Structure 1
Amino acid sequence: MKTTTFLGSALAAALSVNGLPSVNSRAVNDDLVEPQSLVDMIEAAKAQVIADIASKETEMRKRGVEPTCTVSKLKFRREYGDLTRAQRLAYVNAVKCLMALPPRTPADVAPGATSRFDDFIVVHIQRTMDVHFTGNFQPWHRWYLHQYEKALREECGYTGVSPYWDWPKYATAPQDSPIFNGDEYSLGGNGEYIPGHPGQLLVPPPGVVGEIVQLPPGLGGGEVKTGPFANMTITLGPVAGIPNVPPGPMGGLGMNPRKLKRDVGPGVNMMYANYTSVLHMLSQPNIDAYRLVLEGIPHTTLLGPHGGGHFTIGGDPGGDVFISPGDPAFYLHHGNVDRMWAVWQALGGPSASNARYTDLGSGEYAHITWTNSPPSRLAELTDVLDMGYAAESTTIGNVMSTTGGELCYFYL
């Protein structure tokens, strides 16, 4: 495998590939100003969802059926910075509670799992190659986030909703955002700054052929020493490879204690998870095109907003696709991934005639193997979303809408 160095000059010269936007100097001006068209899109999506719920509610009650999701029951997930300090603290305390509960995963399956929080990391390790660049990527993570929120509620008394991280909002200084600023209401601070440290290396997962890509460094690189998750110990992984960290035993499921590290900074955030990339993503006509913009092209510098968010966090475990849920910020990042999908779905019109609630695509990312390698069938709505020991499983068809089945939420 050869290494591609991610230099500013190379970024400026990058070309669009298959509809992916190029990265250039605009990433320091209009890409960082929220366009009114994006605001209008999100408001239109919210209005459509509420109208759909109201229509279904009326229809079901006419038939004498009590609807599961109603306008009055609909919960709205909010951006972390829009929560009050009390709400942020309640969320932080619930996450810490989950970290203090014993695991459900048997010790012979994952000796490195020491808490209920770790159960969710374990299943992500086990399923990574089946739920990334595959047709179930978004449904699996939607259900995964729902089950994580459910654990916070039912096992730790949390009464709020899952917050999300609006990537472009803090793109020029994510390390100073309410998520990473290190105060008592944050999810912990950045890693300690290591002068001259190299950027994150993107290493292809075991068995996958691809380039090693080097990203620009953030403003940390060391251990997290401030905030509620200061000096947090992680025990699972790494799997995909993190520089200067020995691979975790048992394919990452064994015991490998070390401290949480982050490398939060504006470089990757501004390049990939800015307002222009979000608007471009929401403007795509079908799920294949949408996902290509969201997820980019693996093992290249075309990360997309999904990779852009992950590698804005970076560090350990955030820089390893298998164990990235070991950083509490993972759930806010994927909250926004789910938000974008929910908004894009609603922009397709009334749910009764909207194919975006049933179509999993037919492109390279629509199969049941990572980028369809080895070649495999297309994902189907009846496919199971396996949660292992972390939570109950379901099928893709049950989670295609955030207001269907067990789900009843949208985003503000």
Structure 2
Amino acid sequence: MRFLNLFAALSLYGATALAFEGDELSEVQAQAIEALQAVEGNGTFGKRDSCTLFNARVRRDWNSLSGSEKKAYTSAVNCLLTKPSKLTDFAPGARSRYDDFVAVHINQTLSIHGTGNFLTWHRYFTWAYENALRQECGYNGYQPYWNWLSYREDPSKSPMFDGSETSMSGNGVFKYHNGSTSGGGVYIPSGEGGGCVTSGPFAKERNTRLTIFSSMTVHLGPVSPGIDGLAVNPGGPLAYNPRCLSRDISAWTSQHWMTPENVLNLTVGAAAENILTFQNELQGRFGDGFLGTHTSGHFIVNGEASDLFSSTNDPTFFLHHAMVDRVYWLWQALHLGEAFNIAGTITILNTPPSRDARLDDLVIQEPNAPNRPISDLLNTLGGSPLCYIYL
């Protein structure tokens, strides 16, 4: 849906009617749209090239997509998994264009988490992935997001994880393990998975007589896996290390941290006071045993997703980070006076101590996208290169 139709609908029916049914952020979403409408064209956003609310791309909740739209997305992901890598000299283990995204994330992990560029780096990374799906694999849609609050009591029952042909594949098969250790040493009990993913679009039939499925193969990492039993890549982070995509979907993690209260605190509560409090709460207060929505999202999926460095191996990474970006976008729309500020240094949790991040710091994405300064990536309606909103 283009915003032109949305804009007309807003006038006729009110913004809240357009939120996807069951979205506990619907009121915040409506307030964000109204705030953006109020400043459209008044110069608040500065020079914006040709991007407006009328022509911006619209990113939507996975649960709101039709079956054919979901299949188009996963088909494009599978296409990217077959395209040859552009980074084999740098990442000898890379075998596909998908692996190029994994390699870029692994290589920069310690300078893109707990840093002043965390939000904009992952915003641009997700945008580059969306563009690769569209330009290299013929995808006509836009990057969907995983609404953390839907099915939070048991994510494995959600349309995203139910293992159907219109899902992002399901849980891993059961494999005994001793749980996982997340940020700050928080222990996460083992779930009903832990092994290879064998259902949905990222599983492949491998026997012509019997219906036997195998998981998609991942090649890079792990570097620092959180889940018990997943061994570190013996050849190094970017060496060839083929294995199955594994998951251990954790309702326990979802129930503990993916609460409406925690997400609303980020957008309209105490944590929304400024960019520093917002991003610190989002990424987690590990000293307090609080994972935050970013870290807990990775540990809800678990398995390959439990590795801070190589969590990108799981295709749900990009739906999770689209939701991270949606929450950032909501916060920006509701706090326009703070929206384009940044805070933090250029090393993870300022270790080792480093200077503050600056607006002219480059966000490195090559070869997946041209490198850009942080200042180009603060506004999703800036037009160069970003032009999108969330519904």
Q: Is the 8 A contact 1:57 1:70 kept in 2?
A: no
Distance, in Å, in 2 between the alignment partners of 1:81 and 1:58 is 31
Q: Which residue of 2 aligns with 1:30?
A: none
- What is the Cα-based RMSD across aligned positions, in Å? 2.1
Matched, 1:399 2:372: no
Q: 1:100 aligns with which of 54, 60, 82?
A: 82
Q: 1:356 aligns with which of 320, 324, 339?
A: 339
Distance, in Å, in 1 between the alignment partners of 2:216 and 2:275 is 38
Q: Which residue of 2 aligns with 1:167?
A: 148
Q: Is the 8 A contact 1:218 1:312 kept in 2?
A: no
Q: 1:236 aligns with which of 220, 223, 247?
A: 220
Distance, in Å, in 2 between the alignment partners of 1:293 and 1:155 is 36
- Number of aligned pairs? 354
Q: Which residue of 1 aligns with 2:259?
A: 274
SS of match in other structure, 1:126: helix
Q: Which residue of 2 aligns with 1:225?
A: 198
Matched, 1:191 2:172: yes
SS of match in other structure, 2:109: helix
Q: Which residue of 1 aligns with 2:292?
A: 304
Deviation at 1:169, TM superposition (A): 1.0
Q: Is the 8 A contact 2:102 2:313 kept in 1?
A: yes
Show CA shifts across 1:107-163 (max 9, x none): 232111000000000000000000000000000000000000010111111110100
Runs (5+) with no aligned partner, structure 1? 1-32, 61-65, 205-210
Deviation at 1:292, TM superposition (A): 2.0
1:381-400 correspondence runs (5 A): 381-400=359-378
Show CA shifts across 1:220-239 (max 9, x none): 11110111112111110010
Cα separation, partners in 2 of 1:327 and 1:58, compared to 1, 3 Å? closer
Q: Which residue of 2 aligns with 1:215?
A: 188
Cα separation, partners in 2 of 1:307 and 1:408, compared to 1, 3 Å? same
SS of match in other structure, 1:271: helix
Deviation at 1:299, TM superposition (A): 6.8
Q: Is the 8 A contact 1:386 1:394 kept in 2?
A: yes
Q: Which residue of 2 aligns with 1:17?
A: none
Runs (5+) with no aligned partner, structure 2? 1-21, 204-214
Q: Which residue of 2 aligns with 1:48?
A: 35
Deviation at 1:266, TM superposition (A): 1.2
Deviation at 1:197, TM superposition (A): 3.6
Distance, in Å, in 1 between the alignment partners of 2:107 and 2:262 is 31
Q: Is the 8 A contact 1:295 1:307 kept in 2?
A: yes
Distance, in Å, in 2 between the alignment partners of 1:325 and 1:44 is 32
Show CA shifts across 1:48-83 (max 9, x none): 2234334459997xxxxx942023211110000100
Deviation at 1:250, TM superposition (A): 4.6
Distance, in Å, in 2 between the alignment partners of 1:279 and 1:245 is 34
Q: Which residue of 2 aligns with 1:29?
A: none
Matched, 1:87 2:69: yes
SS of match in other structure, 1:223: strand
